[in-house]
Amino acid sequence: MASLNLEAWWTEPGYGRCDSFSRRGAFILHKLLKCDPAKFVYIMWNLYRAEAKDPQEITPHEWQTILAYMGATEEEIKDVLGRMGGQLPRGASE
């Protein structure tokens, strides 16, 4: 399975300056947008329509959906959820 290579993101200076859930979430969403803008816009539109959402308000299930659609591995999804203070939704593969 393909990977987003998230491990490299966590060593970037921009991530190091993220001092809140909201900023970490914004950083991750920005990186996902840069990976594949068309795919990112499609999934975000399908999840939220015209609703703007603060990254810290994105539920663990929504993070899982976004990341899986963008090509993240299960390990990458767990890593992001851990950094955002969330857990995998019940019934999700561990």
Whole-number mean pLDDT of the chain? 85
pTM metric for this prediction: 0.65
Element containing residue 75 per DSSP (H, E): helix 74-83
pLDDT tens, position by position, 51-74? 777 787 888 899 999 999 999 999
| CA distances (Å), origin 77, targets 32, 50, 52, 81, 92 | 13, 25, 22, 6, 11
Q: How confident is the model at residue 89 (pLDDT cuts 50, 70, 90)?
A: low
Q: How confident is the model at residue 90 (pLDDT cuts 50, 70, 90)?
A: low
* 91, 61 Cβ separation under 8 angstroms: no
The domain segmentation of the chain, as residue ranges, is 6-83
